[in-house]
Chains A and B, each alone.
Chain A
């Protein structure tokens, strides 16, 4: 896992297209209708805030398909504090809390 921390941010997607990190936002900030591509899944925000440690959360996110290069579209959000969010991730639908989505960095499509 430490090897993941050492990896430069978004090594897989960002370097290839050399887009500045400034273009990227956290998945926790997006709203319905937003679509784009996942560029990086990190393990750093709120070490005590997920009920599991950040590396475990990172692996769960990865296992669910939140992986660099995956396409997503935000479908719905909850009534209270617009949380959780439901998104289409490649060809499946997934729901998650915004808090647990903070370490997923995405690049939104320009439309």
Chain B
């Protein structure tokens, strides 16, 4: 048998952003899709396998949206290279399906002219055809088909209309033996882009009659949502709501997951005899898996809002409203949502930086995201504030509350500061042009939102887990080996590698007022910031420190000076030790370089700020 008969025919979906291309992909493939990465780049590769009514196997590839084959972002490079058949590990598509928003044809016609130059057999899917009909937009399909020289199918992806006709058309095109013509595509010059626009204008004029009842809703909604005052007020209310939901909706689920894994740990602990295996399974494997899964509820809630707002068409508006505000610190308008998400947890924040096209803009955002005060710092802040900040009131405000607010403010200020310095010193030059389509508002489809949400969850668990989990095992190993000698009265961790490392590092951290117990606690705390609380409990021999914070706080206030306590707080504003974040940065940037730089710069900032706080506090009598 020939190779052609064995492999499914390859179909690539290409189109402008906001044309419902992903909805069409979902309608075509349903649950038979899998998400991976293209070899060597962090662009998502979405592929699905289907069989047409005529029995032909098709492999459908959803390529990132683009306005031109002249690629500008990593996503668009993938689209161009995939269409041209130049992408490593991918073969050229047998058929290209150009997906167009039937109500907005001008720019996609220009893209179609470029696709024609590539010479692959092509089908044009006029999506959102129901909206076009409702608006009274008339398209001479036969004329357009003749002029473009490719078959046209009208589709309504959200209602699964026209899907069978589309696959049948693709099938017919393959069956007819339509072959690729010579690829004559090259990067168009400014003059050629102008020429393509004139051609698109001619085609529009000849075959498309403007809508009798054009969409006026988007204009009316924008009058409010893009209003300089009301628009910003609505944006901030929306974000406040989102932030609240992340905490309130996710907390029960997170507590449930924590409790379930704690119970599982205890259960396994009872079932297994004491020893290494028990410790490995209970404290290493189960605690490790738990520490990955515990982030899942926050990630799902956050992405639920992000996907909803994106599908609705609001994200482009949020970027519009925030662009100038973020621009002062050298960040792109689109960096706003990821940074806000990072207040809950830097992991979903970093994952959502995919909305930023430009690599430098995206990297700057990734690098400063962990400086936003994430929820894992709260247990540490609460403990230290409770131990060292008197519960008094200043001007009618709780002093403890003010310190907490100050820590959040310090996080925001440092994120903006680091971004500003990065853009001034290392990546000089202006932020990428801000040039963005404001799509018409659309009601998101529940199925599509849920499917995307599910995909996000899967990606997090499978990929982030693959990196986070081994780090958890390493941390467990360090805190367990070697075990304490027989008859030892001190906590076991003191004898472990982590304990020795703590003692070894103590002279280094002494100038910032840290004692060896703190240094030791920082090492298991590398697994996740809040683990430092339990670790401090272990070294100060207070069992179950998470539930006896009061006792631990008393211990700390007896053992530490005020200067040491403040220094520890300052350390945690920057605190680089979160293995999960570093793991996700590795995953999102596809390189160990960025997590290493992140770790080094955050450690340096943490050390310097602790040094400053400690010595100022000592000089003021807090030693």
* Chain A interface residues toward B at CB < 8 A: 1, 3-4, 7, 12, 41, 43, 48-52, 55, 57-65, 67-69, 75-81, 83-84, 86, 90-97, 99-100
* Chain B interface residues toward A at CB < 8 A: 67-68, 70, 72, 104, 106-107, 110, 188-191, 193-194, 197, 201, 210, 214, 218-219, 222-223, 226-229, 231-232, 316, 319-321, 323-325, 333, 358, 429-440
Distance A99 CA – B327 CA, assembled complex (angstroms) = 12
Say whether A51 contacts B429, CB under 8 Å: yes
Distance A68 CA – B210 CA, assembled complex (angstroms) = 20
Say whether B104 contacts A92, CB under 8 Å: yes
Say whether A60 contacts B433, CB under 8 Å: yes
Say whether B219 contacts A51, CB under 8 Å: no
Partner of A81, one of B107, B324, B430, B440: B324
- 23 inter-chain pairs at a CB distance below 8 angstroms, sorted by A residue, are A4-B189, A4-B191, A48-B430, A51-B431, A51-B433, A52-B433, A55-B190, A60-B72, A62-B197, A63-B70, A79-B228, A79-B229, A79-B321, A80-B325, A84-B434, A86-B222, A94-B436, A94-B438, A95-B316, A95-B435, A95-B438, A96-B435, A97-B323
Contacts of A51 in B (CB 8 A): 358, 429-433
Partner of A65, one of B197, B226, B436: B197
Distance A1 CA – B320 CA, assembled complex (angstroms) = 30
Say whether A84 contacts B324, CB under 8 Å: yes
For the complex with contacts A48-B429, A59-B189, 5 further pairs of A-B residues with Cβ separation under 8 Å are: A50-B430, A76-B227, A79-B321, A86-B438, A95-B319
Dominant SS among interface residues on chain A: mixed
Distance A78 CA – B225 CA, assembled complex (angstroms) = 11
Partner of B222, one of A59, A75, A92: A75
Partner of B194, one of A52, A62, A83: A62
Contacts of A65 in B (CB 8 A): 106-107, 197
Say whether A68 contacts B436, CB under 8 Å: no
Say whether A63 contacts B67, CB under 8 Å: yes
Partner of A90, one of B106, B218, B430: B106
Number of CB contacts from chain A to chain B under 8 A: 132
Say whether A1 contacts B430, CB under 8 Å: no
Q: How many whole Å from A89's CB to the nearest CB in chain B?
A: 9
Partner of B435, one of A3, A68, A100: A100
Contacts of B333 in A (CB 8 A): 84
Distance A84 CA – B432 CA, assembled complex (angstroms) = 14
Contacts of A63 in B (CB 8 A): 67-68, 70, 107, 110, 193
Say whether B232 contacts A79, CB under 8 Å: yes
Say whether B219 contacts A92, CB under 8 Å: no
Say whether B438 contacts A61, CB under 8 Å: no
Contacts of B67 in A (CB 8 A): 63-64
**Most interface-central of A48, A55, A59, A90 (chain B CB within 10 A):** A59
Chain A, residue nearest B208 (CB)? A91
Partner of B190, one of A43, A91, A99: A43
Distance A60 CA – B71 CA, assembled complex (angstroms) = 11
Contacts of A83 in B (CB 8 A): 323-324
Contacts of B104 in A (CB 8 A): 91-92
Chain B, residue nearest A57 (CB)? B433
Distance A4 CA – B194 CA, assembled complex (angstroms) = 10
Q: How many whole Å from A100's CB to the nearest CB in chain B?
A: 4
A-B pairs, 6 with minimum CB distance: A79-B228, A93-B438, A80-B324, A76-B226, A62-B193, A51-B430
Distance A55 CA – B283 CA, assembled complex (angstroms) = 58
Check A86/B226 contact, CB under 8 A, given A48-B429, A49-B430, A75-B219. yes
Chain B, residue nearest A43 (CB)? B190
Contacts of B227 in A (CB 8 A): 76
Distance A78 CA – B611 CA, assembled complex (angstroms) = 42
Q: How many whole Å from A21's CB to the nearest CB in chain B?
A: 19
Chain B, residue nearest A96 (CB)? B435
Say whether A92 contacts B194, CB under 8 Å: no
Contacts of B439 in A (CB 8 A): 93
Say whether B190 contacts A77, CB under 8 Å: no
Contacts of A41 in B (CB 8 A): 190
Q: How many whole Å from B7's CB to the nearest CB in chain A?
A: 35
Q: How many whole Å from B284's CB to the nearest CB in chain A?
A: 46
Contacts of B191 in A (CB 8 A): 3-4, 7
Q: How many whole Å from B422's CB to the nearest CB in chain A?
A: 14
**Most interface-central of A7, A48, A60 (chain B CB within 10 A):** A60
Say whether A95 contacts B433, CB under 8 Å: no
Contacts of A80 in B (CB 8 A): 324-325
Say whether A78 contacts B68, CB under 8 Å: no
Chain B, residue nearest A76 (CB)? B226
Distance A60 CA – B439 CA, assembled complex (angstroms) = 18
Contacts of A97 in B (CB 8 A): 323, 433-434
Say whether A94 contacts B435, CB under 8 Å: yes
Distance A4 CA – B189 CA, assembled complex (angstroms) = 9
**Most interface-central of A80, A94, A100 (chain B CB within 10 A):** A80
Contacts of A77 in B (CB 8 A): 228
Contacts of A60 in B (CB 8 A): 72, 433, 435
Contacts of A62 in B (CB 8 A): 190, 193-194, 197
